[in-house]
Amino acid sequence: MRVKRLLSVVALAGALAVAGYIGLNWFQNVQFARAEQTVDKARSKLDALPDLSTAFREVGIVMDPSVVNISARAKVKLTSNELPFDNPMFREFFGNQFPGFSPFFNNNGQPRSYDRIGTGSGVIVEANNGEAYIVTNNHVVKGATALEITLRDGRTIHNAKVLGTDPKSDLAVIEAKIDHVIPAKWGDSDKLRQGDRVMAFGSPFGYIGSMTHGMVSALHRQAGILGQYGYEDFIQTDAPINPGNSGGPLVDMHGNIVGINTAIASDSGGFQGIGFAIPANEAKQIYAVLKTKGHVARGWLGVQIADVSKLSSEARSTGFKGENGVLVKGVLSHSPAEGMLQPGDVITSLNGKTVANAQQLREAVALMAPGTAARLEIYRNGKEQNAEIKLGEQPGEQSTSLPGESAEHGKALGMKLVDPTSAMLQKYSLSAKAGALVTAVEPGSIAAQAGVRPGDLITRVNNQDVSNAQQASDALAKVDIKKGVRLFVNNSQGTEFLFLQAEK
């Protein structure tokens, strides 16, 4: 009996094992079949999609006729730091002893001039009746006395001329007599997003017809390349850009220009993963002006501004609750904004478009023509208000950014206050006639840190007007300096709003 039971158990176990094996094998077969179907479906989709390499090739075909190499010849005088072994002995021996012989000095012992030949790229954006118009960088053609344009098909043009340059944006326009050219098309750089694929065209190291690809790695970059008065709102890309690519187009996958390549971030001089391009929407506007006028006249408000996000305490002191916007720190005398804007105003939009920071406002105003009306939404004294200001023309080296910051309940804040005399008002070129005049500021004090300077005339403390030093001192004595105090001052530049606050 026991043997029969044992045999039954063994048989049952065997049957279960076989069933389990069959079941597992069936399950695996089903899973494999599903995976195979998924792969086949994906392959069919890939077969239906355009090949990425094909897309690159097609964009290359579209852009090739429009991209040019630019060789610019400029007359340059050697400076002392460019001269080899420049010392009095060398200068005397090679410059004075052998007139006409030295390659470095003329007969008077002065540095010689020489022709410098630089190369860059450009893109044809318009062609009419045998005239072609090329966009490139200002630094490619700066000071050029002669230009040579080489097309992708091998033609070389010697009759090109510079129509206009704009150092503040690093853009330039060239006109050349060329038949049978196909201009490129402008795209909309405002539609670019981080991660979008792009291609860079040009003639790096003189190799015309070169193209690279990558993506938009960042937008609205300021790289400090164009100096204090330059306008930078760069597209950052990892599409390789090398020396000689300057002035060439950055192109989207539809073959449209979305930027003009202008610079690289590099320690070695070669590409290291970060390149910069001027947005096409900016370049297109500047191109139109340079082509017709030869120079760019920029709109100008005449205000000193800063980001609300960077000066949140100052902005909060006005009652403004928002996170973004532009704080008016000062209004320049005899500027379009005088009498229309006040220190302490917060600008929130321009012409119906929100402005998030000072850079954005500065760029937008600069692209507007002088004489046009700028419609501003501002926050003042707890209320939203509108202001319409007719823009002036920006002076040559006019900065609209916040000046360097440096900031007492008189002595306690680190400043000396006096009643101004007529001579003092004249000395400091002050337009206001009443207030507390700052005649000295202690270095490192709260006043110095906030930007108070000798010659500032304090006309209001918080919301209280003051007409002399005693009134200002009394008003300052009532404030909690840890919470901060707003000062409205008049100086040689106009009116300004300063915020003083002790460390908490």
- Are the folds of 299-393 and 410-500 the same? yes
Tell me what the mean pLDDT of segment 77-85 comes to. 46
Tell me which residues are annotated as active site: 139, 170, 246
Work out the pLDDT band at 403, boundaries 50, 70, 90: very low
206-233 average pLDDT score? 84
Does the model's pTM come out above 0.85? no
Class of domain 62-294: mainly beta
8 A C-beta contact, residue 199 and residue 254: no
Answer for the pair 178, 155: CB distance below 8 angstroms, yes or no.
yes
Q: Which residue has the higher pLDDT, 49 or 461?
A: 461
Q: Of 308 and 151, which is predicted with more confidence?
A: 151
With tokens 């402008």, the residue in question is 186
Distance CA 151, CA 447 (A): 61
* Averaged confidence pLDDT in the chain: 80
Helix (H) or strand (E) holding 216: strand 210-221
Residue 31 in this model has a pLDDT that exceeds 50: yes
Task: Assign 27 to helix, strand or coil.
Answer: helix
Give me the pLDDT at residue 350, please: 92
Tell me, what's the pLDDT at 504? 61
Q: Output 474 or 50, whichever has higher pLDDT.
A: 474
pLDDT digits (tens, 9 = 90+) for 456-487: 999 999 888 888 888 888 888 888 888 888 88
| Residue 91: predicted pLDDT | 39
Predicted local confidence at residue 188, as pLDDT:
95
SS3 state of residue 94? helix
pLDDT of 315 over the 60 cut = yes
Say what the pLDDT of residue 270 is.
63
Query: 280 or 419: whose pLDDT is higher?
Result: 280
Q: Give the mean pLDDT of 354-365.
A: 87
Q: According to the model, what pLDDT value does residue 109 have?
A: 53
Q: How confident is the model at residue 214 (pLDDT cuts 50, 70, 90)?
A: very high
pLDDT reading at 300 higher than 70: yes
Rounded Cα–Cα distance for residues 500 and 407 (Å): 7
Residue 4's pLDDT is 57
pLDDT bracket for residue 94 (50, 70, 90) = very low
What's the CA gap between 277 and 397, in Å, rounded? 24
pLDDT at residue 402 is higher than 70: no
Give the tens place of pLDDT for each residue, 370-382. Answer: 899 999 999 888 8
pLDDT at 29: 67
**Counts for the chain of helices (H) and strands (E), in that order:** 10, 28
Q: How confident is the model at residue 82 (pLDDT cuts 50, 70, 90)?
A: very low
What are the DSSP calls for 408-434, one per residue?
A: --GGGGTEEEEPPPHHHHHHTT-S--S
What are the tokens at 83? 């001269």
CA 360, 366, 367, 369 dihedral sign is positive
pLDDT computed for residue 401 by the predictor: 39
List the chain domain ranges.
Answer: 1-49, 62-294, 299-393, 410-500
Distances (CA, A) of 288 to 28, 62, 185, 258, 369: 67, 23, 14, 16, 12
* pLDDT-derived band at 80, boundaries 50, 70, 90: very low
Burial grade of 333 (CB within 10 A; 0-12, 13-18, 19 or more): middle
Q: Does domain 410-500 have CATH number 2.30.42.10?
A: yes
Spatial distance between the Cα atoms of 270 and 244, rounded to a whole number of angstroms = 11
Quick check: helix, strand or coil at residue 18?
A: helix
**Residue 196's pLDDT band (cuts 50, 70, 90):** very high
Question: Which of 93-102, 218-227, 329-338 is the least confident region?
Answer: 93-102
**pLDDT value for 88:** 43
Q: Candidates 1.10.1060.10, 3.50.30.30, 2.30.42.10, 3.30.56.10; correct CATH number of 299-393?
A: 2.30.42.10
Q: Average pLDDT of 415-426?
A: 81
Which range is most confident: 80-84, 375-379, 392-396, 483-487? Answer: 375-379
The pLDDT, as a whole number, for residue 217 is: 94
